[in-house]
Amino acid sequence: MTEPLVSIILPVYNRKKYLAQAIDSVLQQTYQNWELIIADDNSSEDTKDLLQKYAALPKVNIYYNPQNIGLFANLNQAIKDCNGEYITIICTDDFFLPHCLETNINAIQQYPEANLILSSTYSVNADGEILPDAKNFYYDYIAKETQILQPEQSVPLLLRFGSINGNITAMFFRKSLQNRVGDFRTDWRHAADWEWIYRVACCSPILISRVNVAAIRVHEEQLSVANGKNLSTSIEGSEMVKILLANPYVRNLKSAPNWASHIMQFHLWFAFKLAFRGSLSEALTIIKAINQVTGFGKTFWAMLKTLPQRWAARRHKSFILPPN
Three-state secondary structure readout of the chain: CCCCCEEEEEEECCCHHHHHHHHHHHHCCCCCCEEEEEEECCCCHHHHHHHHCCCCCCCEEEEECCCCCCHHHHHHHHHHCCCCCEEEECCCCCEECCCHHHHHHHHHHHCCCCCEEEECCEEECCCCCECCCHHHHHHHHHCCCCEEECHHHHHHHHHHCCCCCCCCCCCEEEHHHHHHHCCCCCCCCCCHHHHHHHHHHHHCCEEEECCCCEEEECCCCCHHHHHCCCHHHHHHHHHHHHHHHCCCCCCCCCCHHHHHHHHHHHHHHHHHHHHHCCCHHHHHHHHHHHHHHCCHHHHHHHHHHCHHHHHHHHHCCCCCCCCC
Adjacent-strand bridge partners of 9: 37, 89
Maximum separation of any 2 CA atoms in the chain, in Å: 62
> 181-204: per-residue pLDDT in tens?
999 999 999 999 999 999 999 999
* pLDDT higher than 80, residue 229: no
What is residue 65's predicted lDDT score, i.e. its pLDDT? Answer: 97
Average pLDDT of the chain, as a whole number: 91
Residue 226 neighbours by CB distance under 10 Å: 13
Q: How confident is the model over 131-146, as a mean pLDDT?
A: 77
Q: How confident is the model over 174-186, as a mean pLDDT?
A: 95
- CATH 3.90.550.10 in the chain is located at 6-224
Confidence of residue 131 (pLDDT cuts 50, 70, 90): confident
> 283-300: per-residue pLDDT in tens?
999 999 999 999 999 999
Q: How far is CA 161 from the centre of its chain?
A: 13
Q: How far apart are CA 193 and CA 186, in angstroms?
A: 10
Q: Is the CB of residue 87 less than 8 Å from the CB of residue 13?
A: no
* pLDDT higher than 60, residue 320: no
Superfamily of domain 6-224: Spore Coat Polysaccharide Biosynthesis Protein SpsA; Chain A (3.90.550.10)
